[in-house]
């Protein structure tokens, strides 16, 4: 068994579990990579079937079935902690459901686990935000899970927009202009912060831009998950231009 220091990930090697159809987590996570930190992707095999309200739960079940296999892929690389890069699973079943998932994954992996739901809540609390508006790529059943989790966590969800993307890959095809427009529509004087969930939705750059234009935090789930992972490892480096969460906290 190797006990040496990784040549590139000498401060932290972080595993990230994503669906096989996800093409956004890897580039958005690498965009906020700090010196000495590396990210390593494990993929849950799923098909790019059309998603509807009727088969949405089957889609969720398929992702859930492959999580441990994808986890094993990255654990073999000797990662120090694990990001669960399947956003919907992280919100499913409210606080109790996410805590159960995190505990099972941590036991299986033998390393600390970061859920996107927890990371979003951590980021919102860092800014003192309580009243929020949320953008997702999900169908109504998924939106219900996201809303319920956030409200259980103590946040007031003023508005939530679900883009109802028809297939996993279609989420990654949503143009930045549509995300930008949706965030602007969600904004208002009654919200302290905006939140974008859905790890295959390319919102990191748009959220950073929205913060400058709207004058309030706009948290992208991929950025805030990476932030939570490195901060939990005791790495406090600041990073400019990728969102206020890395610049200020």
CATH number for 99: 3.40.50.12500
Domain carrying residue 187: 119-221
Residue 151 lies in a domain: yes
pTM across the whole model: 0.94
In the block, tokens 């654990």 appear at 75
Tell me, yes or no, whether 217 and 227 share the same domain: no
Tell me, yes or no, whether 92 and 18 share the same domain: yes
Tell me, yes or no, whether 145 and 158 share the same domain: yes
Tell me, yes or no, whether 99 and 125 share the same domain: no
Q: In terms of C-beta density within 10 A (0-12 exposed, 13-18 middle, 19 or more buried), how is residue 154 classed?
A: exposed
H-only helix segments in the chain:
25-30, 56-65, 67-75, 87-91, 94-109, 116-127, 140-152, 168-172, 176-186, 204-214, 221-232, 244-248
Q: In terms of C-beta density within 10 A (0-12 exposed, 13-18 middle, 19 or more buried), how is residue 46 classed?
A: middle
Tell me, yes or no, whether 217 and 228 share the same domain: no
**Vertex 205, ends 15 and 179: CA angle to 5°?**
110
pLDDT digits (tens, 9 = 90+) for 157-195: 999 999 999 998 999 999 999 999 999 999 999 999 999
DSSP letter (8 states) at residue 173: T
pLDDT attached to residue 1? 44
Cα 189 to chain centroid, rounded: 26
Tell me, yes or no, whether 18 and 63 share the same domain: yes
Per-residue pLDDT of the chain (249 residues; tens, 9 = 90+): 456 899 999 999 999 999 999 999 999 999 999 999 999 999 998 877 676 566 666 666 666 767 888 999 999 999 999 999 998 889 999 999 999 999 999 999 999 999 999 999 999 999 999 999 999 999 999 999 999 999 999 999 999 999 999 998 999 999 999 999 999 999 999 999 999 999 999 999 999 999 999 999 999 999 999 999 999 999 999 999 999 999 999
The domain tally of the chain equals 2
Residue 5 lies in a domain: no
Alpha-carbon span 201 to 183, nearest angstrom: 13
DSSP letter (8 states) at residue 8: S
Tell me, yes or no, whether 91 and 135 share the same domain: no
């Amino acid at each position: 068994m190797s006990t040496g220091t990784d040549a590139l990930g000498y401060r932290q090697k972080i595993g990230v579990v994503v669906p096989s159809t996800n093409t956004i987590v890897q580039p958005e996570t690498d965009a906020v990579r700090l010196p000495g930190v590396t990210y390593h992707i494990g993929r849950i095999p799923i098909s790019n079937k059309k998603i509807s309200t009727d088969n949405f739960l089957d889609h969720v079940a398929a992702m859930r079935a492959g999580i441990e296999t994808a986890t094993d892929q990255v654990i073999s690389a000797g990662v120090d902690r694990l990001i669960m890069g399947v956003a919907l699973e992280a919100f499913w079943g409210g606080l109790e459901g996410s805590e159960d998932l995190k505990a099972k994954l941590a036991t299986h992996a033998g390393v600390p686990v970061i859920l996107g739901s927890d990371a979003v809540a951590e980021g919102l609390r860092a800014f003192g935000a309580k009243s929020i508006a949320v953008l997702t790529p999900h169908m109504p059943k998924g939106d219900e899970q996201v809303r319920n989790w956030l409200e259980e966590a103590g946040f007031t969800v003023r508005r939530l927009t679900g883009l109802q993307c028809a297939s996993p890959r279609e989420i990654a095809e949503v143009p930045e202009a549509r995300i930008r427009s949706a965030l602007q529509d969600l904004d208002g004087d009654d919200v302290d912060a905006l939140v974008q969930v859905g790890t295959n939705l390319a919102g990191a750059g748009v959220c950073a831009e929205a913060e400058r234009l709207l004058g309030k935090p706009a948290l992208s789930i991929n950025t805030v998950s990476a932030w939570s992972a490195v901060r939990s490892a005791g790495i406090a480096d600041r990073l400019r231009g990728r969102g206020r969460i890395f610049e200020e906290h």
